[in-house]
Amino acid sequence: MKKFLALAAALTLAACASSAPSTTGNVAQASGTTMYCWQDKLVDAGGTLTCNWESTAAAACDASYPTPISKTAIAKGPDKIRMCSNGQWLVQVTMR
């Protein structure tokens, strides 16, 4: 019985770990799309801007997974726009 419980716990942990979004690869968006993220999570790393990018401001206020966007894919921004209810400032970029 102890082995069964240990196996069940291990499988539960593995399932939770595999459900997290990938933090690799660039966010692919249509031209003119606006993306949002927390200002304090924005990291300028050479040719990319890594942040908790989301397609809506509301989703960005709740997001926490970092994703890179190539600077060459950005037409405008990042621009500071508003504060979330959690106290985080949002920035936005417009994609090419």
CA distances from 6 to 3, 17, 57 (A): 5, 17, 41
Q: Average pLDDT of the chain?
A: 79
**pTM of the complete model beyond 0.75:** no
Q: pLDDT value at position 54?
A: 96
Nearest CA-CA partner of 76 in 49, 52, 41: 49
pLDDT in tens, 36-79: 999 999 999 989 999 999 999 999 999 889 999 999 999 999 99
CB 42 within 8 A of CB 79: no
